[in-house]
Amino acid sequence: MYKYDAYDKTIVAERVAQFRDQTQRYLEGKLTDAEFLPLRLQNGLYVQRFAPMLRVAIPYGMVSATQIRKLAEISRRYDKGYVHFSTRQNVQYNWPKLERVPDILAELATDEMHAIQTSGNCIRNTTTDQFAGVAADELVDPRPYCEIIRQWSTFHPEFAYLPRKFKIAINGAKQDRAAVQVHDIGLHVEQNSHGELGFRVLVGGGLGRTPMIGTEICSFLPEQHLLTYLEAILRVYNRYGRRDNKYKARIKILVKALGAEAFRAKVDAEWQHLKDGPQTLTEAEIKRISQHFSSPDYIDLPAKSALLQQHLQQDPNFRHWYQRNVTGHKVPGYAIVTLSLKATAQAPGDATDKQLEAAADLAEQYSFGEIRVSHQQNLVLADVQQDHLYTLWQEALKFGFATPNIGLLTDVICCPGGDFCALANAKSLPIAEAIQRRFDDLDYLHDIGNLDLNISGCMNACGHHHVGHIGILGVDKKGEEFYQVQLGGSAYNDASLGKILGPSFARDVMPDVITSIIDVYLKHRTPEELFIDTYRRIGIQPFKDRVYASNN
């Protein structure tokens, strides 16, 4: 993974000093609340319902065992001994003290971490496939480009006060695991027929109040032009994006207002001035960054481990876990393991300090000391020998990481919701838990198969409810919390936005509502169909009929 050099260290150290000074001036009354607001947000610091919340960057989800230990230590010393992993592959502390945030940032900097641009109206953490570099279906490893974008976007002087936040995602595999179609800019890394690397560029996707699927504005952008082209898009957005209404300020609204063609023409006109300029990537630079992501020292192993086969036959619990939480690896004899942070009664994406330290130990013992955070809020050990899977599973069980539910209904994507977030209209965590409790029968859960359940506590959609196969949105009705259900969303290659089922529900009936939806699926499905397939074939009406007949 990427290692800081002297330049990176200087920049992060100077950021700590800058924010210490800003915090001090704020506490002395020299900065007003309004003046301090964007400064603290661009350092990931929110003022929340009960306490500030600090969001720490995990660039494109890559984190080392050493860094994870540091995150654990900080959670003990400055917080309440746990953290929350977000859908932007970042990590959040829910209870830091504002005055101590500069000290936390200084601690983070000692292990090459920071909170730069994790919030605010600027370019945020670029996200990618959690299986980047190891996926069997990968065409190009997207991580070098993520790092190139990280460096370019860090303290970009022109784009620190955009109309609204700006999110970029990159995918380099056949299967889109980075939800690139619902990002402000989505990039697919591709190789053209001449063997050259480049990007298919989408703009104007996004969730939130006005969800949209991104539109392609460039079918193949050669890799050396990545930064000049991004700069052209950002400049057009910075100049012409709406600033009069925060709900209409994302780039998707501009793309829609102008039309994709006119937007593309504006970007191209701007790009003519920037193309081939100094920000054009050099081969040397791409190579320099790529070297940080070279493969670890894999050993030669048979494609199929006999030991693994033996354990799979002998232990059905292990088999369940293997089926759901282990993914094929591009290197023979290796496997990708997802550590589930979705045990029932644990807030989705939360991990205690002990769990973090256990994950660091497991990473060091089994996976070259690296961990990834997925946008589904789980942790990934990307390079595990198949021979080690059984012992790893036993270890993971001890620390509550081995819930065999990856990709299933209980692997809920969920925002912190009304329990923590000042923006939320409703609580989201109790809904997740109630549904997890209802679907606690593993055989039943496995029989239902792949199903994304995404829950957001408000229409800002941090829980990605629009792209869940089943999406739940917390709404406020005259001071009471209600929940709207959407069906048919998807964040993958077949990206789609969910359709609203109908009037919203009270919290206590939500498990029944989900059960009814599942019943309709089970009744109508053909043997090869997943939930989303059946939904697309039969449409929303049968679900509507059933849910409103039985839950009124």
Q: Out of 14, 99, 196, 545, which residue is the one contacting other proteins (CB under 8 A)?
A: 14
Residue number, 66 or 280, with CB nearest to other proteins: 280
As a whole number of angstroms, the distance between CA 286 and CA 195 comes to 16
Q: Give, to the nearest 10 degrees, the angle between helix 541-550 and helix 510-524.
A: 140
- Is the separation of the CB atoms in 457 and 474 below 8 Å? yes
Helix/strand/coil percentages in the chain, nearest 5: 45, 20, 40
Q: Out of 29, 157, 479, 527, which residue is the one contacting other proteins (CB under 8 A)?
A: 157
Residues 422-441 binding other proteins (CB under 8 A) are none
Specify whether the backbone of 139 is left (phi greater than 0), alpha (psi in -120 to 50) or beta.
alpha
Residue number, 279 or 551, with CB nearest to other proteins: 279
Identify the bridge partners of residue 447 per DSSP, sorted by sequence position. Answer: none
Six token digits for residue 88: 């932007």
As a whole number of angstroms, the distance between CA 168 and CA 183 comes to 6
Residues 279-298 binding other proteins (CB under 8 A) are 279, 281-282, 284-285, 288
As a whole number of angstroms, the distance between CA 542 and CA 535 comes to 9
Q: Per CB under 8 A, does 121 bind other proteins?
A: yes
Buried b or exposed e, range 293-314, using 16+ CB within 10 angstroms = beeeeeeeeeeebeebeebbee
Interface pattern 400-419 for other proteins (x via CB under 8 A): --------------------
Residue number, 147 or 411, with CB nearest to other proteins: 147
Relative to beta strand 185-191, strand 168-171 is parallel
The window from 89-97, 197-205, 235-243, 392-400 that contacts other proteins (CB under 8 A) reads: 235-243
Residue number, 157 or 195, with CB nearest to other proteins: 157
Q: Per CB under 8 A, does 235 bind other proteins?
A: yes
- Is the separation of the CB atoms in 213 and 497 below 8 Å? yes
The window from 32-40, 76-84, 174-182, 338-346 that contacts other proteins (CB under 8 A) reads: 32-40
Smallest separation, CB 288 to other proteins (Å)? 7
Q: Out of 4, 39, 73, 509, which residue is the one contacting other proteins (CB under 8 A)?
A: 39
Q: Out of 62, 105, 162, 382, which residue is the one contacting other proteins (CB under 8 A)?
A: 162
Smallest separation, CB 423 to other proteins (Å)? 18
Residue number, 78 or 155, with CB nearest to other proteins: 155
Q: How many residues bind other proteins (CB under 8 A)?
A: 41
Smallest separation, CB 79 to other proteins (Å)? 27
Smallest separation, CB 353 to other proteins (Å)? 33
Q: Per CB under 8 A, does 29 bind other proteins?
A: no
Q: Per CB under 8 A, does 5 bind other proteins?
A: yes
Q: Which helix (H) or strand (E) holds 56?
A: strand 52-56
Q: What are phi and psi of 365, to 5 degrees?
A: -75, -35
As a whole number of angstroms, the distance between CA 454 and CA 467 comes to 8
Smallest separation, CB 285 to other proteins (Å)? 4
Secondary structure (DSSP) of 137-195 = TBSS--HHHHHHHHHHHTT-TTSSS-SS-B-EEEE-BSS--S-GGGSSEEEEEEE-TTS
Secondary structure (DSSP) of 65-132 = HHHHHHHHHHHHHHSSSEEEE-TTS-EEESS--GGGHHHHHHHHHHTT---TTSSSSSB---EE-TTT
Smallest separation, CB 105 to other proteins (Å)? 14
Interface pattern 250-279 for other proteins (x via CB under 8 A): -----------------------x---xxx
Q: Per CB under 8 A, does 156 bind other proteins?
A: yes
The window from 13-21, 104-112, 400-408, 435-443 that contacts other proteins (CB under 8 A) reads: 13-21
The alpha-carbon radius of gyration of the chain (Å, integer) is 23
Identify the bridge partners of residue 358 per DSSP, sorted by sequence position. Answer: none
Residues 42-71 binding other proteins (CB under 8 A) are none
The window from 4-12, 96-104, 341-349, 458-466 that contacts other proteins (CB under 8 A) reads: 4-12
Smallest separation, CB 234 to other proteins (Å)? 9
The window from 6-14, 70-78, 134-142, 392-400 that contacts other proteins (CB under 8 A) reads: 6-14
The window from 15-23, 406-414, 443-451, 523-531 that contacts other proteins (CB under 8 A) reads: 15-23
Please report the beta strands in 208-254, taking only residues with DSSP state E, as ranges in sequence order: 215-222
Smallest separation, CB 195 to other proteins (Å)? 24
Residue number, 231 or 370, with CB nearest to other proteins: 231
Residue number, 165 or 177, with CB nearest to other proteins: 165
Q: Per CB under 8 A, does 159 bind other proteins?
A: yes
Residue number, 253 or 356, with CB nearest to other proteins: 253
Residue with tokens 């040397």: 284
DSSP 205: -
- Is the separation of the CB atoms in 521 and 534 below 8 Å? yes
- Is the separation of the CB atoms in 337 and 325 below 8 Å? yes
Smallest separation, CB 35 to other proteins (Å)? 6
Residue number, 145 or 531, with CB nearest to other proteins: 145
Relative to beta strand 499-500, strand 480-487 is antiparallel
**Overall size of the chain counted in residues:** 552
The binding site for other proteins (CB under 8 A) comprises: 5, 7, 10-11, 14-15, 18, 21-22, 31, 35, 38-39, 121, 151-163, 227, 235, 238-239, 243, 273, 277-279, 281-282, 284-285, 288
